[in-house]
Structure 1
Amino acid sequence: MNTNKVFLGFLGMLMIVSACKKDQHKMTPLDNDGAAPAAISNVEVENLPGAARISYTLPDDEDLLYVVAECETENGIKEGKASLFGNGLLLDGFGDTRERKVTLYAVDRGENKSEPVTVNIQPLTPPMQMIRNSVEVNEDFGGVKINFKNELEAPVVINILTPDSVGEWSEVETWYTSQEEGAFSIRGFEAKKRKFAIYVRDQWENLSDTLIVEKVPLFEEELDKSNFSQYNLHSDASAGYGWVMTRMWDGSVDEPNGFHTAPGSTFPHHYTFDLGGVYQLSRYTMWQRGLISGTDFLYAHGNPRQWEIWGATDPASDGSWDGWTKLADCESIKPSGSPIGTVTNEDREYAMRGHEFLIPLEAPAVRYIRLKIINTWGGASYSHVMELSFWGAGQ
């Protein structure tokens, strides 16, 4: 056999394969007749909050693929596309109400573009600015309370800033929401005049203008636990394993310095204690079992998962709910969302700080507290709490 012929034949095959591979990367459109489709017609514009809906009549072109709209913005070209199965498209994500020019093209399967059709749009006030315009700021214990409305339920972030120790604006809260309306509080400040700045950011990184207010936070202090005492009523759950109620405010979160109800407690169950005076409560913190010793108890066993906190100044002596007012619905949150038995470092750090809950400013002043345990993390027939701390102002 002539080896030169074999070699030349093999080389020829390599060249053919190589040429085929190069052709694979060209990715040219199929059925490209080189002819552009006709333009869209009967264009109409509906301006919307932060957006514009553009409707039109499609050209009669059998290889039409889609319609594209292009609008020049400060951050580059904003583009919207719609398939041939519709007669309109939406351009959204505008952060102001300025008039803008939009250019539309019909595009066929060969990526040939029609002649441009130009229209003007003028989006209405964007949702993030509507939310900012609705913001109300009122004094609250240790800070301020922010109320807002979000009628379009747009996903946004409400950012709160206040001057730091050297007078520089510093972010103290980022509140993520898509609720129709809501409220939240910023706490931890002295009862001295302080400025707060509020602005709203949307998913396209558009920013509202900034509202700056000056408020004097209401005075709050941590309640003196040496004044706390058990206030045992007929219907209250009893203690178990020698873990008496007074250990729930002894300043320790380690075992056995907590309160444990007796096994066999039905749910919901409750227990009552006396704060030692009448207080307008602002917030409280609960620490669960398993933070130091017995770490397998963390987010498990009898640690409360859902409960209610009630208050009274003159509760009925028969243990009924007469005279009691619900102060808050509470739930223990596990940041990782992992199943029972799995606790991440994030979960542990979160629990170590304690689960803090705010008491609404409009709640009445109270002296007696009743915790109503709805369920526990481990579904146990008992509940246990290591420590409680309360903040507020004496009345």
Structure 2
Amino acid sequence: MKSITIYLFLALITLSFLGCAKKENLPISASTGKPGSVSDVSVKPMPGGAEVRFRMPDDNNILGVKAVYDRNGKEVSTFVSVYDNVIVLEGYDNQETQAARLITVNRALEESEPVVISFTPKKSPITSVKETVQIIPDFGGPRFQWLNVDRAPITFEMYAPDSTGALTLSKILVSSSEQMSHTIRGYPDEEIPVAIVLRDRYNNVTDTVYPAGGKTLTPLFEEKIPKSNMRMIVLNNDTDFNFHGGRVEYLIDDDWRTFGHSNNGTMPASFTVDMGQRVKMSRFVVTNREYWGHAFSWGNIKTFEVYGRVDAPSADGNWDEWTPLQTPKECEIIKPSGIGGTDVTPEDIAFGISFDFEVPFEMQAFRYFRLKVTGTWSVTTFCHPAEVDFFGQGMGN
């Protein structure tokens, strides 16, 4: 008897779900006849589309308004509820006259007579971005840079040579930043083919963009700056890194197993490097101490600032004499996994303990490098960086 009861209960539950499934797409009220159309329609062209404003019919049974229009040869629709009076049409990649139908829908899913509108979109975001793209020589490879004043999400497909010299997809980057650049490195200062293609979320794709004047460029020569003539200098407001087995000179000894270690209560902590010559720097690499098998815990660097100076600095270490190498000034080491705190994933561990940071191409050559640690992964009052390396071109004294 107990088994029969259970089976009956399950059968009733199943029928209940089936009943719900059958009603999912049914009207939510009885027919009230064809609803009225929208009125007082105004259209404002915008980049890649238009903003349409209207007045809803005075009808309590209205569910909303949908716009039906063609985009890239396909009919698409956009719906807004009865509580809205604005609908945005977007995704166009031309400046030709377009048409759309505004249709009121009531709770019985009955549709009004359409109100037909026409408009001419402004230049699309993807076209505007394409027109600003530049591919120029950078240290060790091509630098792709662009402006995105509409801050539209754009996919950038960057092409560079593979190991055989054939042009191949090398990097995919999705960004809505207003201004951005990216360099693909690892190439000698020899002529190479490069290109870029842009896509947006509406399946609009640009033609292939090449460097100005041709399809190739020659990267600038890049080397790791030798440390044989480098030395650490300690300014009056620099931090002592000679605690707990650390030595300040270990920060430039080309050995990631050694480290500098500041004392408790010394944050923020700074150190200064005399590189022995002026350097047109392309990037620098910060290496954290390997602690518990990874770089994301204890006194390892999480946030920091970097500065450069051409001439010998004042002994007092006055920060006003130094030029920030990054904008905004603070740099941050981010785990590949993106998770917060000191927890790590296999992806984080596999990434390693060294982190690249680019120096803006426009930065002048300088001799003195200064780093200020502003935060650690375990929010300690001390820090223990392992190494710092510099890349670019040595310019001599």
Alpha carbons of structure 1 residues 166 and 100: separation in structure 2 relative to 1, 3 Å: farther
**How many angstroms apart in 2 are the aligned matches of 1:393 and 1:90?**
51
Aligned pairs (5 A) from 1:94-133: 94-133=92-131
**How many angstroms apart in 2 are the aligned matches of 1:108 and 1:215?**
60
CA RMSD of aligned residues (A): 3.1
Rg comparison, structure with higher value: 1
Q: Does the CA contact (< 8 Å) of 2:238 and 2:317 recur in 1?
A: no
Alpha carbons of structure 1 residues 53 and 311: separation in structure 2 relative to 1, 3 Å: closer
Are 1:240 and 2:237 matched, yes or no?
no
Unaligned residue ranges in structure 2 (runs of 5+): 1-11
**How many angstroms apart in 2 are the aligned matches of 1:184 and 1:17?**
57
Q: Residue 150 of structure 1 aligns with which residue?
A: 148
Aligned pairs (5 A) from 1:1-395: 26-27=22-23, 28-33=26-31, 35-41=33-39, 43-74=41-72, 76-213=74-211, 214-238=216-240, 239-254=242-257, 257-261=258-262, 263-290=263-290, 294-295=291-292, 298-316=295-313, 318-321=315-318, 324-328=322-326, 329=329, 330-352=331-353, 354-395=354-395
**How many angstroms apart in 2 are the aligned matches of 1:147 and 1:71?**
34
Alpha carbons of structure 1 residues 389 and 39: separation in structure 2 relative to 1, 3 Å: same
Please say which of residues 31-40 and 360-369 is displaced more in the overlay: 31-40
Structure 2 residue identity aligned to 1:363: M
Equivalent pairs counted in the alignment come to: 374
Alpha carbons of structure 1 residues 339 and 165: separation in structure 2 relative to 1, 3 Å: closer
Please say which of residues 370-379 and 19-28 is displaced more in the overlay: 19-28
The structural deviation recorded for 1:126 is 1.3
1:8-47: CA deviation from partner (whole Å, max 9, x where unpaired)? xxxxxxxx99999876554342443362224445544332
TM-score (norm 2): 0.82
**How many angstroms apart in 2 are the aligned matches of 1:362 and 1:382?**
33
**How many angstroms apart in 1 are the aligned matches of 2:97 and 2:298?**
61
Please say which of residues 122-131 and 110-119 is displaced more in the overlay: 110-119
**How many angstroms apart in 1 are the aligned matches of 2:20 and 2:235?**
82
Alpha carbons of structure 1 residues 119 and 249: separation in structure 2 relative to 1, 3 Å: same
Identical positions, percent: 29
1:111-167: CA deviation from partner (whole Å, max 9, x where unpaired)? 122233333343222112111212233332222334322222222233321233445
TM-score (norm 1): 0.83
**How many angstroms apart in 2 are the aligned matches of 1:53 and 1:157?**
24
Alpha carbons of structure 1 residues 299 and 22: separation in structure 2 relative to 1, 3 Å: closer
**How many angstroms apart in 1 are the aligned matches of 2:33 and 2:265?**
80
Q: Does the CA contact (< 8 Å) of 1:297 and 1:303 recur in 2?
A: no
**How many angstroms apart in 2 are the aligned matches of 1:17 and 1:173?**
52
Q: Secondary structure of the equivalent of 2:251? A: helix
The structural deviation recorded for 1:336 is 2.9
The structural deviation recorded for 1:358 is 0.9
Q: Does the CA contact (< 8 Å) of 1:315 and 1:324 recur in 2?
A: no
**How many angstroms apart in 1 are the aligned matches of 2:50 and 2:111?**
22
Structure 1 residue identity aligned to 2:78: G
Q: Residue 4 of structure 2 aligns with which residue?
A: none
1:206-258: CA deviation from partner (whole Å, max 9, x where unpaired)? 2233321133222111112333333334443221134223333333323xx22
The structural deviation recorded for 1:372 is 1.8
